[in-house]
Structure 1
Amino acid sequence: MPTSDVVQRGARVVRRLSRGVRRRLSPAVPATPDPQQVAELKRVRKRLRTARAQVERLTEELNAVRHELSATRHSVRDPDPTIALPAEVSATVERVREQRLSYLKAADLEMLARLVVQLEQSGRPGLVIEAGTARGGSAIVMAAAKSPERPMKVYDVFGMIPPPTDKDGDDVHRRYELIRSGGSAGVGGDTYYGYRDDLYGEVTESFARCGVEVGAHSVELVRGLFSDTIDLDEPVGLAHLDGDWYESTMTCLQRIAPLIIPGGRIVLDDYYAWSGCKTAVDEYFADRPEFRLEQRAKLHVVRL
């Protein structure tokens, strides 16, 4: 039986026993109580003390289980949650969240930052890539976590998201129709990024406002469709892919995955969210044993 159920049952026992005690202590009890009633009352009080102690013990156990589950969720989300983030990187996460520049939770932004820090600490080479940046928040955090000399490329159309194809499921087409019709809301109720007049300029300004100016941190914002812009021939250390639909995800995998260094990693933001992304990932990695897929809060792919 789950711990919470045991605690609830114990609480019900305590309430029931408490009512019994109150009844036995009511004015209806004669001035000289019956010895049998006194003995019964003592037994009830003892049972009540025992039940209360059991509830307290089970409550402590439940709190311990909750703490363990929280730690497990954190470790599942983050390959190495013990990596300490520099204070400035943590501050960048806060700025990004305060300015509503990312759909990601703080824990997911911190996870991406730790992956970049881990890459730096390992001394491994390679680009840092984000494909699909929206308002730029996660890219800003990743750029803040890397060394200024390590190159980073951020790919996006910086405008309205491209339409899905017949490789995408009904969920994707319904979502796209909502976006196309003007009914989508942005982070925190702001204007949806695809409806903004100069998203490229806004993202550039957001990098600077968060203290990660693109020129000073070797960041290149690359505007256009992935199929037109992703053309690489250098090693990649870490790639965060947020392309939503099948075609954009498959294009990223075909052009980036072969360049991932051993020990390098791809994080796929939409694998659990949109059918097209999941289909592309499952198809691409079906017969590629050189990669390991890790089922975390976001899907991670590691080059072996």
Structure 2
Amino acid sequence: MARLSVSNSVIYELAAENPDMSDVDRLMNLYWALCSVVRSGTPGDVVELGCNAGRTSVLLEMVLEAEGADRTLHLYDSFDGLPAPSAADRYLKQGDCRATESDVLATFARWNLRPPRVHAGWFEETLPRHLPERVAFAYLDGDFYESIRTSLTHVWPRLSAGGSVVVDDYCDRELSPRAWDGLPGVKKACDDFFAGVPASRRVLVGVGDLAFAEFRKPAG
């Protein structure tokens, strides 16, 4: 398979296909976060928790192929939509954001990419059994408090030193005044989890309403 370059035109095309979930701000921040981990040689595979139809996932695979990285992309989703929200959650409701595994594979086929390993089921069922032994990079897009807390609980212990976790919908209006604040359970889950866990946090910004945070595991 010919190596695909992640050019600016590819980024714009991906953003145009899915502007609500994968705009240019999100894609470029993910691109550089994953590139930094791959180019530093941090060991482990790449995981995305909450992949929907895979229209952001394809960027992660493009980076791996463009960088010649011998790593596997693992995707996790219930494919039954979101679970029931907790008291910390709002905006979305149970069953929203439903997609199918076939949708994911069709997205990858359309871009002529190597298919990922897809793990269907609720995070509390799939993550204990199907996470790779070592994770270099994780993208968490679970939307709700319990989904993000469960994701961190299982991913962080397997994250390699120097590895990166990027969390979507983490809104810190003090550090990123334009950030979208529709899913407050995400930040609460992260803040609760990292209250006693050593990590460096970086709130990412964009020209729009990007709500992203990156958490790095200490290198040594």
Q: Tell me the percent identity.
A: 26
Q: Deviations over 1:34-78 (max 9, x none)?
A: xxxxxxxxxxxxxxxxxxxxxxxxxxxxxxxxxxxxxxxxxxxxx
Residue ranges of structure 2 left out of the alignment (5+ in a row): 172-180, 206-211
Q: Which residue of 1 aligns with 2:147?
A: 248
Distance 1:131 1:279 in 2: 18
Tell me the amino acid that sits aligned with residue 127 of structure 2: I
1:287 aligns with 2:201: no
Q: Is this contact kept in 1: 2:14–2:22, CA < 8 A? A: no
1:127 aligns with 2:42: no
Residue ranges of structure 1 left out of the alignment (5+ in a row): 1-85, 181-192
Distance 1:300 1:245 in 2: 17
Q: 1:99 to 1:275 in 2, by over 3 A?
A: closer
TM-score (norm 1): 0.59
Q: If you compute each CA radius of gyration, which structure gives the higher value, 1 or 2?
A: 1
Q: Which residue of 2 aligns with 1:302?
A: 216
Match of 1:152 among 62, 69, 73: 73
Q: Is this contact kept in 2: 1:154–1:220, CA < 8 A? A: yes
**Secondary structure at the residue paired with 1:301?**
strand
Distance 1:108 1:285 in 2: 23
Distance 2:217 2:149 in 1: 17
Q: Is this contact kept in 2: 1:131–1:155, CA < 8 A? A: yes
1:176 aligns with 2:97: no
Distance 1:237 1:102 in 2: 27
Number of equivalenced pairs: 194
- Range 150-159 or range 96-105, more displaced: 96-105
Tell me the amino acid that sits aligned with residue 279 of structure 1: K
Q: 1:127 Cα shift?
A: 1.3
**Secondary structure at the residue paired with 1:111?**
helix
1:88 aligns with 2:5: yes
Residues 152-301 of structure 1: pairs in structure 2 closer than 5 A: 152-166=73-87, 168-169=88-89, 172=90, 174-176=91-93, 193-194=97-98, 199-214=100-115, 219-231=116-128, 232=131, 234-272=133-171, 273=181, 274-288=183-197, 290-297=198-205, 298-301=212-215
Q: Which residue of 1 aligns with 2:35?
A: 117
Q: Is this contact kept in 1: 2:31–2:63, CA < 8 A? A: yes
Q: Which structure is higher in strand share? A: 2
Tell me the amino acid that sits aligned with residue 110 of structure 2: R
Q: 1:233 Cα shift?
A: 5.7
Q: Is this contact kept in 1: 2:108–2:114, CA < 8 A? A: yes
Q: 1:235 to 1:301 in 2, by over 3 A?
A: same
**Secondary structure at the residue paired with 2:82?**
coil
TM-score (norm 2): 0.80
Q: CA RMSD in A?
A: 2.2
- Which protein has greater RCO, CA pairs closer than 8 Å, 6+ apart? 2
Q: Is this contact kept in 2: 1:153–1:222, CA < 8 A? A: yes
Q: 1:271 to 1:98 in 2, by over 3 A?
A: closer
Distance 1:223 1:236 in 2: 19
